Amino acid sequence: MGKETCLLTQQTNHINMKAMQAVIRAVDFAVPSRRMSNEEFSAFLDTSDEWIRSHTGIGYRHIAEPSVATSDLAVEACKKVLEKTGIAPEEVDLILIATATGDFLGFPSVSCIVQDRIGAKKAAAMDVVAGCTGFIYALETARNFILGGGARNILVAGAELLSRVIDWKDRNTCVLFGDGAGAVLVSADSSDGNRGILHSVLRSDGSGARLLERTEGGTRFPFKDGVIDPARTYLKMDGRQVYNFAVKVVSEGIVDLMESNHITTDDLSWIVPHQANVRIIEAAAKRSKIPLSKFFINIEEYANTSAASIPIALSEMCSKGLLKAGDLILTFGFGAGLTYGGNLIRW
């Protein structure tokens, strides 16, 4: 081997040794323009702005028009992200849409519809069904595809149209949810070994599967000709039990994620929790002895958008100048499944 070739080999090895990271290059979101206030519920339900605000922190939610489906919101958010990064749709290798409210009952996935509509001709596409924790699961899936060398550019979105699956006569659930989508582009990047999605914790507890469910329409209780009970197709929830579960896993999970990465609250710029109920966030902050000011909260405007809540929050934080390159942040979510988990991200 000649001297020149030898040098080249050494350089190549040096380049390869730089750690590949899964970096979030841009974030954006889409919500329907129709903004529904708490007061509007009082016209047809025994509830009030006072009850909803004091029990949940919710003031408004955005509700899609009848012609809109989940993929429409996901497409809008994904297109905005691609425009921001200048990445062409053909450069996207994988589309991961976290959703529990697909356009169809599993056939086809929302991500395939998005793939076609944005023109991502070379992309694989799959949905991630992990309830409100879906975006966190999808981010960790993206990180592993990138570290494994299977993809370089991945669109990850959380997209939900919960207004279509709630019972508008059930005050226990319908006041809690909203529609929306948030998306990020995760790319392979070896320029800075400290940036990107650094670590995640993903967990599940299927013993609580039936605490949050849509009973009818799946293979357990399929639709039968002529006997559709709408109430059994809507989302129903044991709110109190989910509340208790959430406070426990959020408070313990955040501390676990910090301890396993040898960091303290002082190292974190923000904790970005799933926006289900401001009281869950307050109780988890108190239990984990983390100041509430570390938690980003925007539930007042959007209510619970399930898998979309964290990317919508990240996008709002960016546009408000609250997230800077180099900031260390921690996401944490919980939801149907039951599932829970979090990501540690160097922005």
State which of residues 80, 171, 214, 232 lies at the interface with ligand UT7 (CB under 6 A).
171
Closest-CA residue to 331 (of 317, 311, 316): 311
The DSSP bridge pattern shows strands 179-189 and 21-30 to be antiparallel
Query: At closest approach, how far in Å is the CB of 65 from ligand UT7?
Result: 24
Q: Taking a C-beta distance cutoff of 8 angstroms, is the pair 133, 160 a contact?
A: no
CA distance 312 to 315: 5
Residue 56 in contact with ligand UT7, rule: CB under 6 A: yes
State which of residues 49, 51, 195, 298 lies at the interface with ligand UT7 (CB under 6 A).
51
Residue 239 in contact with ligand UT7, rule: CB under 6 A: yes
State which of residues 11, 172, 194, 260 lies at the interface with ligand UT7 (CB under 6 A).
172
Tell me, residue by residue from 274 to 293, as one string, x for binding to ligand UT7 by CB under 6 A and - for no binding.
--xx----------------
Residue with smaller CB distance to ligand UT7, 188 or 281: 281
Give the binding-site size for ligand UT7 (rule: CB under 6 A): 20
Return the residue matching tokens 């991200």: 345
Q: Residue 222: how many CB atoms within 10 A of its CB?
A: 8
Residue 47 in contact with ligand UT7, rule: CB under 6 A: yes
Residue with smaller CB distance to ligand UT7, 154 or 242: 242
225's enclosing H/E stretch is: none
- Catalytic positions: 132, 274, 304
Query: At closest approach, how far in Å is the CB of 265 from ligand UT7?
Result: 24
Residue with smaller CB distance to ligand UT7, 237 or 312: 237
Residue 240 in contact with ligand UT7, rule: CB under 6 A: yes
Residue with smaller CB distance to ligand UT7, 124 or 202: 202
Residue 251 in contact with ligand UT7, rule: CB under 6 A: no
Closest-CA residue to 51 (of 216, 220, 171, 180): 171
Long-range contact list for 296-300, CB < 8 A, 24+ apart?
A: 296/270, 296/271, 296/272, 296/322, 297/57, 297/273, 299/56, 299/57, 299/58, 299/275, 300/57, 300/58, 300/59, 300/60
Residue 248 in contact with ligand UT7, rule: CB under 6 A: no
Q: Residue 15: how many CB atoms within 10 A of its CB?
A: 9
